[in-house]
C-alpha cells in the first residue's frame, strides 16, 4: 500500500519488504566494498581468503575448511588459490602429516599484501557499514546474524 492509500501514513514494512531491503542493501554494500578493493588490485573474495589464512594458525588452512568458510565449491577454491598462487600470495601443498589432504598457506608476500590492503579495507568498512550504526545496532546485528547462522547449522 502506498502512503496515499493509507491516508498519507507510512506503513510498517512487512517481512518481505524487510527481506528485499536486506537483499538489496547487502548486494549494494558488497559491490561498493568490492569496487574499492579492486582499486587496490584485490577482489573481495581474494581479500577474504587472505584474511582467513592470515588469522589461521601458521597462516595455513585445509582446503576443505577454507572452502566451507568462504562458501566456495572445491573447484572455485582451487581456482582462487591458483590465481593467488600466481601472484605469490598463497601456496597449495599437501597437508602436513596427512598425504591425502591439501592445504593453502599464506606466503610472506601474501602476508605483506594483506597488511598493505587491510588499512584501506578497514576504512571502507568503517565508512560504508559501521558509520551508519550505533554500538547497540552492531550488537543487535551480531546477535541476529548469529541466530541466522545457527539456524542454517553454521553456528
**Tell me, what's the pLDDT at 10?**
63
**Tell me, what's the pLDDT at 144?**
95
Can you give the CATH number for the domain in which 85 is found? 1.10.10.10
CA distance 76 to 79: 5
**Tell me, what's the pLDDT at 11?**
64
In a domain, 22, yes or no: no
CA angle 12, 17, 18 (to 5 degrees): 85
**Tell me, what's the pLDDT at 96?**
85
pLDDT tens-digit profile, the chain (155 residues): 444 444 555 666 699 999 999 999 999 999 999 999 999 999 999 999 999 999 999 999 999 999 999 999 999 999 999 999 999 999 999 998 877 899 999 999 999 999 999 999 999 999 999 999 999 999 999 999 999 999 998 86
Question: In Å, how far from its chain's centre is CA 53?
Answer: 13
**Tell me, what's the pLDDT at 2?**
45
Q: Which residue's C-alpha cell is 560504508?
A: 128
CB atoms within 10 A of CB 4: 7
In a domain, 104, yes or no: yes
**Tell me, what's the pLDDT at 12?**
67
Asked whether the beta carbons of 89 and 50 are under 8 A apart, the reply is yes
Owning domain of residue 131: 42-151
Contacts of 116 (CB under 8 A, 6+ apart): 40
**Tell me, what's the pLDDT at 97?**
80
Q: How many domains does the chain have?
A: 1
In a domain, 28, yes or no: no
DSSP 79: H
CA distance 136 to 24: 23
Amino acid at each position: 500500500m502506498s502512503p496515499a492509500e493509507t491516508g498519507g501514513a507510512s506503513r510498517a514494512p512487512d517481512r518481505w519488504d524487510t527481506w528485499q531491503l536486506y537483499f538489496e542493501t547487502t548486494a549494494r554494500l558488497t559491490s561498493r566494498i568490492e569496487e574499492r578493493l579492486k582499486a587496490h588490485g584485490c577482489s573481495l573474495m581474494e581479500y577474504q581468503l587472505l584474511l582467513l589464512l592470515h588469522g589461521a594458525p601458521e597462516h595455513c588452512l585445509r582446503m576443505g575448511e577454507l572452502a566451507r568458510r568462504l562458501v566456495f565449491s572445491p573447484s572455485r577454491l582451487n581456482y582462487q588459490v591458483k590465481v593467488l598462487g600466481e601472484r605469490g600470495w598463497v601456496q597449495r601443498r599437501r597437508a602436513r602429516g596427512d598425504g591425502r589432504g591439501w592445504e593453502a598457506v599464506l606466503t610472506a608476500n601474501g602476508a605483506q599484501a594483506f597488511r598493505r590492503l587491510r588499512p584501506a579495507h578497514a576504512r571502507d568498512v568503517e565508512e560504508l557499514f559501521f558509520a551508519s550504526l550505533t554500538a547497540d545496532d552492531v550488537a543487535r546485528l551480531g546477535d541476529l546474524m548469529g541466530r541466522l547462522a545457527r539456524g542454517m547449522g553454521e553456528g
